[in-house]
Chains A and B, each alone.
Chain A
């Protein structure tokens, strides 16, 4: 078990390093000029050259990458002399736009994105798996058909449309909820939840629809397994057959998808956060796009990769726990 964990952690670190290197290379290779972006459009060529040196952009790519990597673990200084700014561990770069290390920006915004992702995922798991399993057990019936028509429809709606319709219907027309703003959970859990409710619904609707379809298929497959027939032949109560024998194997494949989805969302739901004006990582990313704030773009990308790799690792460990056939 320890050995397996160590091996998996090592593999995860390797993947992160590779993602990091590839991201860095692509950013370096693509025609763009971070120095101009950092300095501003009115910069003189001399000033741009100075900024280039200050940012270390005059060095070859591998050296820049090495500096970036060591910076993550040991911190680094941007610029030199009295104007130098220190960027401590873990230094993911320095945003000239905000005059702050990227890491600080990310940690500031992370609670919003995590609140959004976690709340929405609870909602979509309940809705999606509930609908999917119900459908699977009533396969071919009216309930099944209704639920599946609804899910295909909901899965085809773009999230910006759902968001706008929720704002229009609930906030503007009915006035049931305030326009979403972020309040920390620790401040007041109720305000926290009521403000996040609409973004949760907007995100959850899309994912619930996809999960309903996935879990229906997976559950139907599980219920068609020969071991379900065995369980019925043993005279177990139908509930036991469905829940103990069907559900556990039917829901296992969902674990993988859920890990990927949650991991991806933790680092920011770009569109949802922008439409609802939530100051999360996604919003930070969107703003960075508009302002070409490359250190932030790179930082968010790496953060997202880290979340996905971590989620995958967690899912693999859970798998080993759920399915005894998986060897450590």
Chain B
């Protein structure tokens, strides 16, 4: 590896982008993390460019193609592997002939969008409550900790499903993001609270306090930067859970409503075709699997690097 004579534990000579450069180097050095990183980048790119890429494929996600299906076979796609070919790159949906390439990309857009926003909601709420509980202590801590206990006592998946099912005329994507976010925050809040508690009495924080710095300044300048490592690792590990939850809700029919595609919703529609048209079932499943896998691998690696207590000694 490196042949520099930097003593163990000493900060690298590079400053500024130094620490992040180091994280990147360590990340890239691990095969699994590299795979996760590349796959995540690829999936995000595919989802972000869903529109232009579908145009390239020649089909929009809601466009029917009656010529790609066989009406005498119950609307099954014409051709091998669910109609995979030059006309439809990943084949078509049975009965409608909608282009799977376009649909799986647009579905990814919806799935990832919901997962990312829900994660953002969770991280912001969790970090704020965690820091507040840890830093202010006393009554604030007691109330917030009770709230965390209470939230964790909710049967989250069942509760999410019931909330999604009783709510009728609302924006499904926004509601789903909020509902998923609502139950996720206590986990990260506890991590941040613990970290804040241990940082609170460090010399440099005490020094800032003695120096007359305001709470806000101490929180943003001294505490937040020092809990950011675990937060980033934890955030990455939250994403796969969010993707899976979105998929589960849409699979159960209480998430994204057709014709808007999402991976879970596509799997739900395709599951009855698993024998007659396996391609149709496998394509969204494979995307979902890859996304969850890649984020997990990346998150694991980041946690090992940024929060060594969580698994590596």
- Which residues in B have their C-beta under 8 angstroms from that of A172? 275
- Asked whether any CB of chain B lies closer than 8 Å to the CB of A15, the reply is yes
Encoded as 1 (CB less than 8 Å from any A CB) or 0, chain B from 264 to 292 comes to 00010001001100000100010011001
- Which residues in A have their C-beta under 8 angstroms from that of B244? 158
Q: Which of A30, A157, A224, A267 contacts B313 (CB 8 A)?
A: A224
The reply to whether B154 and A305 form a contact with Cβ atoms under 8 Å apart is yes
- Asked whether any CB of chain B lies closer than 8 Å to the CB of A164, the reply is yes
User: Quick one: given A15-B150, A31-B167, A264-B157, are A301 and B313 in contact (CB under 8 Å)?
Assistant: no
B103, chain A: closest CB distance, angstroms: 18
- Asked whether any CB of chain B lies closer than 8 Å to the CB of A308, the reply is yes
Binding site for A on B (CB under 8 A): 32, 149-150, 152-159, 161-163, 165-170, 240, 244, 247-248, 251-254, 267, 271, 274-275, 281, 285, 288-289, 292-293, 296-297, 300, 309-313
Alpha-carbon distance A297/B162, docked complex (angstroms): 6
- Which residues in A have their C-beta under 8 angstroms from that of B288? 158
The reply to whether B275 and A217 form a contact with Cβ atoms under 8 Å apart is no
User: Quick one: given A15-B150, A19-B150, are A161 and B289 in contact (CB under 8 Å)?
Assistant: yes
Question: Which residue of chain B is the closest to A164 with respect to CB atoms?
Answer: B274
Encoded as 1 (CB less than 8 Å from any B CB) or 0, chain A from 284 to 323 comes to 0110011010100110110011011100100000000000
Alpha-carbon distance A304/B158, docked complex (angstroms): 8
Binding site for B on A (CB under 8 A): 15, 18-19, 23, 26-27, 30-32, 152-153, 155-158, 160-161, 164, 168, 172, 216-217, 220-221, 224, 260, 263-264, 267-268, 270-271, 274-275, 285-286, 289-290, 292, 294, 297-298, 300-301, 304-305, 307-309, 312
The reply to whether A160 and B159 form a contact with Cβ atoms under 8 Å apart is no
The reply to whether A18 and B168 form a contact with Cβ atoms under 8 Å apart is no
| Chain A contact residues: helix, strand, loop or mixed | helix
The reply to whether A158 and B166 form a contact with Cβ atoms under 8 Å apart is no
The reply to whether B163 and A30 form a contact with Cβ atoms under 8 Å apart is yes
The reply to whether A15 and B153 form a contact with Cβ atoms under 8 Å apart is yes
Alpha-carbon distance A309/B152, docked complex (angstroms): 9
User: Quick one: given A155-B296, A224-B313, are A160 and B161 in contact (CB under 8 Å)?
Assistant: no
User: Quick one: given A19-B153, A160-B251, A309-B153, are A297 and B166 in contact (CB under 8 Å)?
Assistant: yes
The reply to whether A301 and B158 form a contact with Cβ atoms under 8 Å apart is yes
The reply to whether B158 and A217 form a contact with Cβ atoms under 8 Å apart is no
- Which residues in A have their C-beta under 8 angstroms from that of B252? 270-271, 274, 286, 289
- Which residues in B have their C-beta under 8 angstroms from that of A274? 252
The reply to whether B311 and A217 form a contact with Cβ atoms under 8 Å apart is yes
B255, chain A: closest CB distance, angstroms: 12
